[in-house]
Amino acid sequence: MIPEVGTGALLVALILAVYGAAAAAVGGRRGRPALVESAQHAALGVFALLTAAVLLLVYAFLRFDFSVRYVATNTNLGTPFYYRITALWGALEGSIVLWAWMLSIYTLLVIVRHRTSARQLYPWVLTVMLSVVAFFLVVMTVPAPVFARLTPVPADGRGLNPLLEDSGMITHPVALYLGFTGFTVPFAFAVAALVTGRVGDFWITTTRRWTIVAWYFLSLGLLIGGWWSYHVLGWGGYWAWDPVENAAFMPWLTGTALLHSVMIQERRRMLRLWNIALVMLTFSLTLFGTFLTRSGVIASVHAFTQGSIGVFFLTFLSLVVLVALALIAWRWDALGAQGELDSVVSRESAFLLNNVLLVAATFTVFFGTVFPLLSEAVRGVKVSVGAPFFNQVNVPLFLSLIFLMGVGPLIAWRRASLENLRRNFLGPVVIGVAAAALFRLLGVGSILAVTTLALTVFVVATIGVDLVRATRARRRLGERALPALGHLLLRHNRRYGGFVIHLAILVVAVGVTGSQAWSVHTETTLKRGEATELAGYRIRFDGLRESQESNHGKVTGTFTVVGGHGAGAVLEPAKKFYPQEQSPIAYVDYRLGLVDDLYLVLGDFASDGSHATVKFQVNRMVSWIWIGGLVLTLGTVLAVLPERRKAA
């Protein structure tokens, strides 16, 4: 029953989405509000049907309905309750359902928010949103039917990929997809602006918050992905420049560029063409990411199973890119700049440089990602591009970006005078240089680490200078220090939200720097009762024990910290043996700390428990990366709050 009802719901949703897209377009063109309203109802219907499909699938998972192929492939009778729900997006077909469902939610929100506020653009926005939903519904119907039947019905299912049985599995894809799909909104507005010829600044101010929200979720998705990699995969790292990580990182880079360049357009009426192009590029890159993960074109740890789905995605991607470029060409004259760059030493040029660097980083990541393909096409040679390439080209770009993070917010618009530069930057530069000397004296050997940390101090100092000055100004008006600071943050929430987000990025940067420069690890075989030492930690191997879990067997090692910091703590890394997997899955145990993470991975062991090999890592400052995520959340909330300045 479930397969038929589900397939039916998706088919009706597809018809409604196509109808809605067409009705909104015709309604917008002919100025017939009734049609647009009808399209709205269609969008509502699409949302309801997709919600029903999602619920139906969850129901099938909870009931172990193995007549649904997707259920049989992604659960078995031993799969715990919790993962039977997350199995919904554990593989290709379900992830597309989740994607489309989120998109339908965004469409609903756009309807609620912009039905009346953006009258001219609105019908076309609706058309674009529904068209994208329709595409995903086509994917769900033809190449990746989530409700496909399985005959004969097997006695038990295959089970979820064990690596996905983790709490990160609930948050990582959800956040990532909210980010990916969120960029559809600015894209829809950009297309609407081009189609209607209203390429002024309205669309960009309207979509600013949407962009921030999408960008935030994408950032969160990336960070949670890092966390998942760190505590599940057992290699002690959080980022590997894997093609699929890159695919999520590229729209993040262009999205970041967009958040900055928008400000120049709002303020100086410049960069219209650039902004439109950035929005198009960002959305195309989200599609490219989906294409990459689901087509099997490039080998990656994240890849879903393959099939004809890649062709669908590439066709849609091509359509989007070609139509977007054609629209831009059509409105070329209207996209010309009205303002001009007055001076190289100005905020505009700092932002411009920021954009150039971010796009350059995007390009290098893209190049590195598709290079294996290029090499095979041109030379017929299989190659893989690893982390060294990406690090080498991106580290200088990112360092420059951190530097600009300090310059951009404080330097004057139009033309910075020497006085402006001295007033804003003399102090922070001195502090930054002093910090570099201090770090050096403290024994920080790596030039890269010293540079990053000194630049961080410089940026923090610029933020400090700004805050102190602004607070002082309010105090002169009679406010006390703390309330003055509070008012400042709330009244100028956009600016200070931005600052807080900058701080978050700095915290992440310090975490990355610290973990790269100072983490240490060793791998050693210990007899029972024997101890080993690393970086002031001493751990003892106390033995192994075997256990049978609902869907796998497990061998757990017990290690006690016997000396140095954290004495007394017991860590229990394990190996899990899943019947459907060829090789065992490592279960990492760790103790997180602000500076040190203790991190143990169980390697080979003697079956009698007499000895075991353990990978013992002391990872430095990794927690800062996760803390950065929290700060980022604060900053985003501050930045998207309604602006109070006018009301005050």
Residue ranges that bind another protein, judged by CB under 8 A = 69, 72-73, 76, 150, 152, 154-159, 291, 295-299, 310-311, 314, 317-318, 321-322, 325-326, 328-329, 332, 370, 372-374, 376-377, 382, 579-582
Choose among 42, 58, 61, 63: nearest CA to 98: 58
**Minimum CB distance to another protein smaller for 375 or for 560:** 375
**Minimum CB distance to another protein smaller for 328 or for 569:** 328
How do strand 574-577 and strand 570-571 relate by DSSP bridges?
A: unpaired
- Asked whether 227 and 626 are in contact (CB, 8 A), the reply is yes
**Minimum CB distance to another protein smaller for 82 or for 332:** 332
Phi-psi region of 546 (alpha: psi -120 to 50; beta: other; left: phi over 0): beta
**Minimum CB distance to another protein smaller for 69 or for 272:** 69
Beta carbon of residue 335, minimum distance to another protein (angstroms, whole number): 10
Q: Which helix (H) or strand (E) segment is 229 a member of? A: helix 202-232
Beta carbon of residue 235, minimum distance to another protein (angstroms, whole number): 20
Beta carbon of residue 290, minimum distance to another protein (angstroms, whole number): 12
Q: Rounding to the nearest 10 degrees, give the CA dihedral for residues 140, 146, 149, 153.
A: 160
- Asked whether 218 and 629 are in contact (CB, 8 A), the reply is no
Count other Cβ atoms within 10 Å, centred on residue 164. Answer: 19
- Asked whether 622 and 616 are in contact (CB, 8 A), the reply is no
Q: Which two tokens stand for residue 117?
A: 């506020």
Beta carbon of residue 202, minimum distance to another protein (angstroms, whole number): 24
Max intra-chain CA distance, the chain: 82
- Asked whether 367 and 360 are in contact (CB, 8 A), the reply is no
**Minimum CB distance to another protein smaller for 273 or for 592:** 273
Number of residues written out for the chain: 648
Beta carbon of residue 291, minimum distance to another protein (angstroms, whole number): 7
**Minimum CB distance to another protein smaller for 299 or for 356:** 299
Beta carbon of residue 330, minimum distance to another protein (angstroms, whole number): 8
CA distances, 527 to each of 542, 555, 574, 609 (Å): 9, 16, 17, 9
Q: Which ranges of 336-417 does DSSP label H, i.e. alpha helix?
A: 347-378, 387-407
**Minimum CB distance to another protein smaller for 283 or for 559:** 283
Beta carbon of residue 326, minimum distance to another protein (angstroms, whole number): 5
Beta carbon of residue 255, minimum distance to another protein (angstroms, whole number): 20
Residue 296 amino acid letter: G
**Minimum CB distance to another protein smaller for 296 or for 603:** 296
313 burial (CB, 10 Å; 0-12 / 13-18 / 19+) is buried
